[in-house]
Structure 1
Amino acid sequence: MKAWLLKDFGLANLQQAEVPTPVPGAGELLIKVGAVSLNFRDKAIVDGIYEPHLVPKPLIPVSDAAGTVVAVGEGVSRFKVGERVNSTLYTRWLDGMPGPDEPLYCLGSPLPGGLAEYMIIHEQSAVKAPDEMSDVEASTLPIAALTAWYSLMDVGHLQPGQTVLVQGTGGVSIFAAQIALAHGARVIATSSSDMNLERVRALGVLDGVNYRSHPNWEHRVLELTDGKGVDITLDVAGGDGLNQSVLATRVGGTIAQVGFLTGQTSALSLMPVIFRQTTIRGIAVAPRSSFERMNPFLDKHRIKPVIDHVYSFDEALQAYEHLARGPFGKIVIKISDQP
């Protein structure tokens, strides 16, 4: 089969090759991959800044895939040949809290990912792909949509009428805006682009803040919330900007720390955290059970992913380059035609 192999860190070392088609073992599904979507994690793995000690070489990268079961291993009972499934990032985290070693069993590193014609997914980690979504659309769900859902609904316990702050207009933030709006919440979005703020307003977001025009953007968020701050903040930036997120979030509110776009370390000012009694919760996607709760909500509210561009299999490098520039929504690589 054709596959993209990361032979060393750096995008120049991501190369297309011919490799043996894997054979499903006990409990495993062989998936003909229809499409994969890219997340910042995928870029960070290629760049060598995401748990580099865990990255095998060569590696078939990319965790998020949708495709069709074409063969099953011994003992498989949850799925059968011909069914469409999604991958999940954590192949052993099925419910509840994660175990301490979940990163050792992630697709796209250290386990082989989906940037290939075929991939192996264990039946216990697979999720039925939504009937109303194509493989291209469904491929966007496993990290971006699920991280947003878990942050808002399972961790933040979002209620109608509350206010959510989303940072930027990447995949997680756009899904978070869509889910929050569908649940009856108010959304405030930040971006460095007035054009992107206009595009996110078209989704139903009423308030946008350009953080280049307003470098102290937390002050503007407080103005928009009558000085109280938002109930839940999805922080995708990380770095020292976490201090601004604390100030933009109400007393007793929650910050879902889902990303590190501007840095993996933060000089956090503790007194505002203490006095505002802020909950800062690290979010590393979610268990399979949360995925299975999310899909009916997406169906009920007819939420479809916002996809910036769909690339062909041969254009994988261009897809990564687009990701580095910062897409509006998701970047998808189409592997094969959906049956």
Structure 2
Amino acid sequence: MSLPNIQKQWLIEGSDKDFDGLVYQDGPIPTPEDNQVLVHLHGASLNYRDLIIPRGMYPFPLDLPVVACSDGAGEVVAVGPKVTKWKKGDKVLTLFNQGHQAGDMTIAASKTGLGGCIDGTLRQYGAFDQDGVVKMPENLDFVEAATLVCAGLTSWNALYGLKPVKKGDYVLVQGTGGVSLFALQFAKAAGATVIATTSSAEKMETLKKLGADHVINYREDVNWGETARNLTPGGEGVAHVIEVGGADTFTQSLSAVKMEGVISVIGFLGGPKPKDNILETLSRVCTVRGVYVGSREQLEDMCAAIEKHNIHPVVDKTIFSLEKAKEAYEYMWAKKHFGKVGIKIE
């Protein structure tokens, strides 16, 4: 079967508060180099990062113009002459930081992020190094698999990258975004007790159905960090905090964490500017760790666990087509979603 020469793609040409810098256009289909595979992308999903790049709010280096989006999954349709790991027909998902293969993050690897520094996944075809993709979990479809690339792996790294979560631990997850919901699922699979926070009664019930053992409405309880601590045996505190709020929530995270616990800082939905409380980590005797997704090895480990425990990502009920991707951005920006926002690519 011959491949077309032209594909549809979304290119970030610049920044604008209404996503006008995100342009739907025709683009060339890349020819895989010696060690590359060509992937026909069938699924993508959005992260907060993907939204703030075209709005000019991303605080890290970019290389514009660039094909948008961090997450993708699809099928290998061609391989370079030196590729040994993959064949046509293999189902794969992309590695976000293409240069982060194993071990610690490096400056060089941090400059290989899809959809920001190099072309991303909001297109029909992409060429990636054979080490820049991993085997897709067999229990997932393409859109589900795409959600693993950033949110799933970030959660996995938070819970296993420094001090692995274990049975009997207490884990605090904030809100109902993709990272937090993955963390809830991974922590429960490990035998941990999960405390979740949210802002509505409806979401509280959904979190309980997903396995949360305790749910706190943070709008009604301004001291929810202390409340979370008091839910642990002896008021000792939680072993892991999945911190996504930034300046608005970090004080509460410090109140909740146990001695020698880990606060994994994932995002800054409440603002990136830290408040003057970092020295409290000394009195709390805890570790605060920034997490920037994860490595290929961690992605492979996570995918194996997802298959073993038959974990399915929480994907919002509205799935968008490639041509409607800008609407997906607007939908997520308006906070109409629950879980991951998926995009189906033909």
Normalised to the residue count of structure 1, the TM-score between the two structures is 0.96
Matches of 1:5 and 1:201, distance apart in 2: 39
Opposite residue 12 of structure 1, the aligned amino acid is: D
Task: Give the counterpart of 2:47 among 39, 63, 72.
Answer: 39
Structure 1 residues 242 and 74, CA, compared in 2 at 3 Å: closer, same or farther? same
Aligned pairs for 1:175-186 (under 5 A) are: 175-186=182-193
1:282 corresponds in structure 2 to 290
| Cα deviation 1:199-246 (Å, max 9, x = unaligned) | 010011121111111122112112212422111000011114212211
How many angstroms does 1:250 deviate by? Answer: 0.8
SS in 2 for 1:12: coil
How much does 1:179 deviate? 0.7
Letter in 2 for 1:125: G
The code of the aligned residue for 1:118 comes to Y
Q: Percent identity?
A: 37
**Structure-2 separation of matches of 1:270 and 1:13:** 37
Q: In 2, Cα distance between the equivalents of 1:110 and 1:176? A: 27
Letter in structure 2 aligned against 1:132: N
1:302 is the counterpart of 2:302:
no
Establish whether residue 316 from structure 1 lines up as the match of residue 325 from structure 2. Answer: yes
Which runs of no fewer than 5 residues in structure 2 stay unpaired? 1-6
Matches within 5 A, 1:1-150: 1-10=7-16, 11-51=19-59, 53-57=61-65, 59-150=66-157
1:297 positional shift: 1.0
Task: Provide the aligned C-alpha RMSD in A.
Answer: 1.3
In the TM superposition, residue 52 of structure 1 has moved relative to its aligned partner by: 5.7
1:74-101 C-alpha deviation (Å, 9 max, x unpaired)? 3111111111110011111111111122
CA contact (8 A) 1:45 1:52 kept: no
Which runs of 5 or more structure 1 residues have no equivalent in the other structure? none
Q: Which residue of 1 aligns with 2:200?
A: 193
Q: Is the 8 A contact 1:147 1:283 kept in 2?
A: yes
Q: Which moved more, 1:106-115 or 1:316-325?
A: 316-325
Name the CA distance, whole Å, in 1 between partners of 2:277 and 2:22. Answer: 40
After the TM superposition, which residues 241-260 of structure 1 pair with which residues of structure 2 at under 5 Å, given as runs?
A: 241-260=249-268
Report if aligned partners of 1:243, 1:268 keep a CA contact under 8 Å in 2: no
Give runs of ≥4 in structure 1 deviating > 6 Å: none
* 3-state SS of 1:56 partner: coil
Among candidates 207, 219, 240, match of residue 214 of structure 2: 207
- Equivalent position to 2:339, from 319, 329, 339: 329
Deviation at 1:106, TM superposition (A): 1.1
TM-score, structure 2 as length reference: 0.94
Measure the CA separation in 1 of the matches of 2:278 and 2:21. Answer: 42
TM-aligned CA distance change 1:3 to 1:271, over 3 Å = closer
Q: Relative to structure 1, is the Cα distance of residues 117 and 271 closer, same or farther in structure 2, using a 3 angstrom cutoff? A: closer
Are the aligned partners of 2:150 and 2:293 in contact in 1 as well (CA < 8 Å)?
Answer: yes
* Matched-pair contact (CA < 8 Å) for 2:168–2:193: yes
Q: Distance in 1 between matches of 2:306 and 2:131?
A: 22
